[in-house]
Structure 1
Amino acid sequence: MQPPRLRHSARALLLDEDDRLLLARHDLTTRHIGSVIWAPPGGGLEVGETPLEAVVRELAEEVALSVPMDGPRHVWHQQVVSSAYARGWDGAVFDYFLVKCDALSLPSTSNDRLLRDEGITEFRWWTIDQLHDASGSGLLRPHHLAALLSDLLTESAESYPIAI
């Protein structure tokens, strides 16, 4: 039996000074899983790229944010195996990195063509309360995002990264 084909990706938990989280709205109705979800910015690793290098590159591409390599902190690791994940894949491996930023420092524009190609239709800042309100809707990724982020904001850094 062959091991599952897993897509490796890195995502940024981009938090502003008020602990609001930036999420991207992904319209995947014509590809992948066929639904609309809200997920942290990020994407697939390129050949030879580490998850840290990928998240730094993805932040530059998706939200035009330049962060130093020592800025993002690896906090979550997730493996999802599902035949319904996406065409051509049996699932995914996600590495999530915490990145603090000033919401006002983010440019209002980024690469529109790239975002369209990725199925990203908008970005929005979410408060913890808004994330809790949307819990259970099936729209947020990763599942249990509100609880995971609440724990992350209240626990010591030494306990991370964790498997989710």
Structure 2
Amino acid sequence: MVTGRDQVMISSGPIDLKIARFISVWGERWPNMTVEIEGFGGPRGWSADRLSDLGEQAAIYLVRDQEMDVHWEEFGYSLDARSEAPLCLMYRRFDAGSIAVTALEDPYGHGLGRFEPYDVTLVADGLYLITVVAPDEDSEFSRSVIEAMVDALSGR
């Protein structure tokens, strides 16, 4: 059963600090959260000393509590009775020097006239691809996850 929806973002580094910022903020929402970082043992609580487990790339799983973990095993990344779901964060270096994208919002700012989407080429060095797996794109929970990740990546 395939569940969840991937949201891909591109951000500059330092990626380990930005991902740690997201996990710490999310830990305030889920005080009993367990965090599993592939290759660094099983799930356990998050603390600042785990920053060294994050590097240039990682796959990270966040689970609110044991009840959510049981739900995850049966229903994947679908919302549970509390309208929340486990999260998966994956990131790695963006090795391509450029990528073609379509601007769906005016990158020059609002109010400069009528805007229609257009193609742009993003050229940069030192970027990372971040994939957030959440249950869907429409739920309040998923929107809050993406908003928190954008805030963490942008330094807000």
TM-score by length of 2: 0.25
Structure showing greater Rg: 2
Higher relative strand content: 1
TM-score by length of 1: 0.24
